[in-house]
Structure 1
Amino acid sequence: MIHCEATKWKAILQRILDTTLFLISRGLALQGETTQIGDFHIGNFLRIMELIGKYDDVTREHLAKVKENQLKDQSMRGQAHYLSWYSQNEFISLCGEKLLKTILNQRGRGNFYILIDDATLNISHQEQNFFNQDYLKKNEFAIFSPFRAHSLNRVVVNAAKLNHDVLTFFGNIEHFY
């Protein structure tokens, strides 16, 4: 019985993690206006979980249990369901820590490296990313360029593609450099 329950939770967590990684790898928002299962205004995360539930018994049963408690207006406090924004943020944080350890390990093996960290806005429109700037400060030669500068660089690149004079100007600068 315990083995069966552990297998079920492992399957649920794998689906939740896969959905979270899918969304964050594409820079898509997870949350919507509501967390009520079945509501039109749920976010991408719960909508994908509902889609998986159409084809997967484990996910369908899990979502049905959570929805039943939501409809009865019962609190899920003290009951693990891992569908909340808090759980999603925890998954993202754990993935970020694992990714950071991998990058720092690989960084130590090379003479030169570049690290580009793209960010996404959270619900309060604050940039979130996997990395803490303090890790790069350990290398005195590291240069930190905030995401806003990266965005400006993309604007310049796209402007150059659209305007021949701009393309010529930057081409000449590149040539002289």
Structure 2
Amino acid sequence: MDIELTKQVEHLEQYWRSVLKQVISVIHFIAERGFAFRGDNELVGSPRYGNFLGILELIAQYDDFLAQHIKTEVNRGKGHTKYLSSTILEEVISIMGEHLLREIISRVKKSKYFSVSLDYTLDAAHVDQLTLVLRYMEKDSPVERFATFMANKGHGAEDMFNALMEFLKTMTWPMETARDSFHTYEKGEQLSQSGSAYKAIESRQKCRNVRLNSLDYGHAEEVQLSPSEKYRTQTFLPIIDQFIYFLGQRLEAYKQILSKFSVFRHLQRLSSDELCNSAEQLIRSYPDDLDITFKEELCQFATFGNIFTDEEPTDISTELFL
């Protein structure tokens, strides 16, 4: 009995595995060419069921296995396993998309340096969404990859920056692991320059003066580092630490500038008192460029912007519109 049950399980497993292989191949074919997957319905035999079922039906004309599966399973309705429904289609697309994104991120990490391109585009429902494209070097050639769509959180630079940072949190930032990647860099350099090695430098060993260091009686030994470890601790790590430190300083400077000038992004939402307080902060920061009348000018400008609130388009920022 157990043997027969095991054979039945293996047969069913092989059956559905064969179905999924053909389904995934068709999804890959359609996605690679940017075609639409679905049509107006999911009924086999209908001329308006879309590319996904249409290609499967075309393959079934030359594949008896798939033809029999479609004949017996597809039009049975909901509640029956067939792996050809829109639900399975969307799940497979999601899994393939996550796998592809992980592969792109892994290649970006290997490249070490990359740039991003952010822009807004409309989907089929005319809803704004943020498009992220990554550019990096791969085998001495520039590569550009679409990464993901992100929800629209505003058209301002700050909104786009926040959306980008939320995405980057899902991937390990390259500089966070750079300090632990010394051996990777070292190995890559040795492979690129065959025969290269650390040169030993002869130097006179310093001896401790027992009379000047009477407490240890001269028994403390000098730490002996290998050439690799010496380069890592004296050159590699200091460079990486300084790089991270100065990047942090630059980010802090940007945050200070944002705290001073963010008032211009919220003119329509701030009250008169809040506008005056922000104006006074700018006057204190730039006394040679702004005088006391700047407070009144800022309030008048905010009132002017509120007049055209209903006319403001959705595809550009408030600052650019005004």
Q: TM-score, normalised by structure 1?
A: 0.63
Structure 1 pair 106–42 and aligned structure 2 pair: CA distance change class (3 A): same
User: In the TM superposition, what is the alpha-carbon distance from 1:36 to its structure 2 partner?
Assistant: 0.6
Q: With CA pairs under 8 Å and 6+ residues apart, which has the higher RCO, 1 or 2?
A: 1
Worse-matched range after superposition: 49-58 or 104-113: 104-113
| Secondary structure, counterpart of 1:55 in structure 2 | coil
| 2:78 maps to 1:76 | yes
| 1:25-174 correspondence runs (5 A) | 25-69=32-76, 75-77=77-79, 79-114=80-115, 124=125, 131=148, 132=150, 134-136=166-168
| 2:14 maps to 1:7 | yes
| Secondary structure, counterpart of 1:48 in structure 2 | helix
Gaps of 5+ in 1: 70-74, 141-147, 149-177
User: In the TM superposition, what is the alpha-carbon distance from 1:111 to its structure 2 partner?
Assistant: 2.8
- The structure carrying a bigger strand percent of its residues is 2
Q: TM-score, normalised by structure 2?
A: 0.36
After superposition, the C-alpha distances for 1:38-57 in whole angstroms (9 at most, x for unaligned) are 11111000000001111112
Q: Distance in 1 between matches of 2:167 and 2:116?
A: 11
User: In the TM superposition, what is the alpha-carbon distance from 1:121 to its structure 2 partner?
Assistant: 8.5
User: In the TM superposition, what is the alpha-carbon distance from 1:83 to its structure 2 partner?
Assistant: 1.2
Corresponding residue pairs, total: 133
Q: Which amino acid aligns with 1:99?
A: L
Do 2:38 and 2:52's aligned partners in 1 also have CA atoms closer than 8 Å? Answer: yes
Structure 1 pair 110–8 and aligned structure 2 pair: CA distance change class (3 A): same
Larger Rg computed on CA atoms: 2
Gaps of 5+ in 2: 1-7, 132-145, 151-163, 174-246, 248-314, 316-322
Structure 1 pair 85–121 and aligned structure 2 pair: CA distance change class (3 A): farther
Q: Which amino acid aligns with 1:64?
A: K
Structure 1 pair 98–44 and aligned structure 2 pair: CA distance change class (3 A): same
User: In the TM superposition, what is the alpha-carbon distance from 1:67 to its structure 2 partner?
Assistant: 4.2
- The structure carrying a bigger helix percent of its residues is 1
After superposition, the C-alpha distances for 1:121-152 in whole angstroms (9 at most, x for unaligned) are 97656679862554246669xxxxxxx9xxxx
Q: Distance in 2 between matches of 1:130 and 1:92?
A: 14
Do 1:32 and 1:43's aligned partners in 2 also have CA atoms closer than 8 Å? Answer: yes
After superposition, the C-alpha distances for 1:47-90 in whole angstroms (9 at most, x for unaligned) are 00001111112211111013452xxxxx331x211111111111
Structure 1 pair 7–26 and aligned structure 2 pair: CA distance change class (3 A): same
Q: Which amino acid aligns with 2:101?
A: L
